[in-house]
Amino acid sequence: MNLALSEKKVREHCRTNAVEVSALEALPGGGVRLVCASGQGADLLRELLKKKLMTGEVQRTRLRADRPLT
């Protein structure tokens, strides 16, 4: 899920609600992309943070090279 919050705030919400984070990625345009380790945790945070959910497409940082590194 994409959230219009800082990484620090998202980590606080996860810790407070005992939701394990699988991945947390800062988005170039602001906000973060959160992947929870369980669907239950994701559902809980989606409900709690519904006003901070980002809709539509968001730009992400490229993590892989365009061509092999060899």
Would you say residue 25 has pLDDT above 80?
A: yes
Tokens for 25? 């990625």
Question: What's the pLDDT tens digit per position in 31-68?
Answer: 999 999 999 999 999 999 999 999 988 877 766 656 66
Cβ(58)–Cβ(33) below 8 Å: yes
Q: What is the pLDDT of residue 59?
A: 78
Query: Which residues touch 41 (CB under 8 Å, ≥6 apart)?
Result: 14, 17, 18, 19, 20
